[in-house]
Structure 1
Amino acid sequence: MTAATRPNPWLILLGLSLGVLVTNGFGRFAYGLILPAMRADLGWTYAQAGWLNTANALGYILGAIGTMIALRRVSPNLLFAIGLVGTALAILATGLIPALWWQSLWRFVTGLTGALSFATAGALAARLFADNPKRNALGIAILFGSGGGTAIMLVGATLPPLLATQGNAAWPWTWVLVGSLSLLCVPLGLWAARASRGPSHSGTVMMPLPIRRMLPELMGYAGFGLGYIVYLTFLSAFMAEQSASTVQVVLVWVLLGACITVSPFLWRGIFARHHGGIPLAMVLTGIALGSALPVLWPGSLGLVISAFVFGGSVFMAPPAITNFSRKNLPPDSWAAGMSLFTVVFAVAQTVGPYAAGLLGDLAGSIGISLLAAAGVLLFGAAAALFQRPL
Structure 2
Amino acid sequence: MHEIGRSPVSLALGGLLALAAAMGIGRFVYTPILPYMADGLSMPAQDGGLIASANFLGYLAGALLGSSSRLRGDPRTWFLGALVASALTSAAMAFTAQVEMFLVIRFMSGVASAFVLVFSAALVLERLTLSGRADLSALFFAGVGIGIAFSAILIAFLGHIAATWEHLWLASAGATLVFAGGAAVLVPKTTPALTETTKPNLQDAPKPEASGSLAGLFIAYGLFGFGYVITATFVSTIARTVPALQPAEPWVWLCVGVCAAPSILIWNRIANRIRPRPAFALACVLEAAGVAMTALSQHPLVFLFGAALLGVTFMGITALGLTQARRHAEALGPDRARTLLAGVTASFGLGQVAGPWFAGQLHAMTGSFQAPSLAAAAALIAAGLIVLR
Fold shared per TM-score above 0.5: yes
Aligned residue number for residue 290 of structure 1:
290
Give the TM-score of the pair, scaled to structure 1.
0.83
Give the counterpart of 2:137 among 124, 132, 140.
140
Counterpart CA distance in 2 for 1:196 and 1:246 is 49
Paired with 1:171 and 1:315, the residues of 2 have a C-alpha distance of 28
Partner of 1:69: 68
d(CA) in 2 for partners of 1:384 and 1:252?
30
State whether residues 240 and 246 of structure 2, in contact with CA within 8 Å, keep that contact through their aligned partners in structure 1.
no
Give a deviation string over 1:57-82, Cα, whole Å, max 9, x none.
Answer: 22122212212324564454444333
- CA separation of 1:124/1:224 partners in 2, compared to 1, >3 Å: closer, same or farther? farther
Contact 1:119 1:338 in 2 (8 A): no
Give the match for residue 43 of structure 2: 44
Equivalent position of 2:126 in the other structure? 127
Aligned pair count reads: 365
Match of 2:183 among 189, 196, 204: 189
SS in 1 for 2:67: helix
- On the 8 A contact 2:244/2:299 being kept in 1, the answer is no
Preserved contact between residue 236 and residue 252 of structure 2 (Cα < 8 Å): no
How has the CA–CA distance of structure 1 residues 44 and 246 changed in structure 2, closer, same or farther, with 3 Å as cutoff?
same
CA distance in 1, matches of 2:89, 2:128: 32
Distance apart, 1:101 and its partner CA: 2.2
| Distance in 2, Cα, partners of 1:358 & 1:195 | 49
Question: Structure 1 stretch 360-369 or stretch 112-121: which is displaced more?
Answer: 112-121
- Take 1:323 and 1:131, find their aligned partners in 2: how far apart are those partners? 20
1:49 Cα deviation after fit: 0.7
**Structure 2 Cα separation of the partners of residues 305 and 358 of structure 1:** 27
Q: How much does 1:48 deviate? A: 0.6
- Return 5+ residue gaps in structure 2 as ranges: 193-210
Contact 1:35/1:237 (CA < 8 Å) preserved in 2? yes
Matches within 5 A, 1:216-365: 216-244=216-244, 247-272=247-272, 276-325=276-325, 329=329, 338-365=341-368
1:175-214 matches, cutoff 5 A = 175-191=169-185, 192=187, 194-195=189-190, 214=214
Alpha-carbon distance in structure 1 between the residues aligned to 2:342 and 2:9: 24
Corresponding residue for residue 383 of structure 1:
386
Counterpart CA distance in 1 for 2:338 and 2:11 is 18
User: Residue 384 of structure 2 aligns to a residue in which SS?
Assistant: helix
**Is contact 1:51–1:354 with CA below 8 Å preserved after alignment?**
yes
Is 1:67–1:339's contact at 8 Å kept on the other side of the alignment?
Answer: no
Tell me the secondary structure at the aligned position of residue 298 of structure 2.
coil
The answer (yes or no) to whether the contact 1:164–1:246 under 8 Å persists in 2 is no
Q: Return the TM-score normalized by structure 2.
A: 0.83
1:143 shift after superposition: 2.6
Q: CA deviation at 1:307?
A: 2.3
Give the 3 Å change call, closer, same or farther, for CA 127–214 of structure 1 in structure 2. Answer: farther
Aligned to 2:81: 82
State the shift of 1:383 in Å.
2.1
**Which shifted more, 11-20 or 72-81?**
72-81
Contact kept in structure 2, 1:360 and 1:366, CA below 8 Å: yes
Distance in 1, matches of 2:350 and 2:219, equals 12
How far off is 1:375 after superposition?
0.9
Counting aligned pairs with the same residue, the percent is 24
Deviations along 1:249-308, one digit per CA (max 9) or x if unpaired, are: 122222222111232342231344677533332322222111111223331121121122
> Corresponding residue for 2:207?
none
- Aligned pair partner of 1:159 in 134, 148, 155: 155
Say whether the 8 Å CA contact 1:224–1:377 is kept in structure 2: yes
- Shift in CA distance, 280/195, structure 1 to aligned 2, threshold 3 Å: farther
- The CA deviation at 1:338 is 4.7
The CA distance in 1 between the partners of 2:219 and 2:258, in whole Å, is: 29
Q: State the Cα distance separating 1:175 from its structure 2 match.
A: 0.4
* Deviation (angstroms), 1:177: 0.2
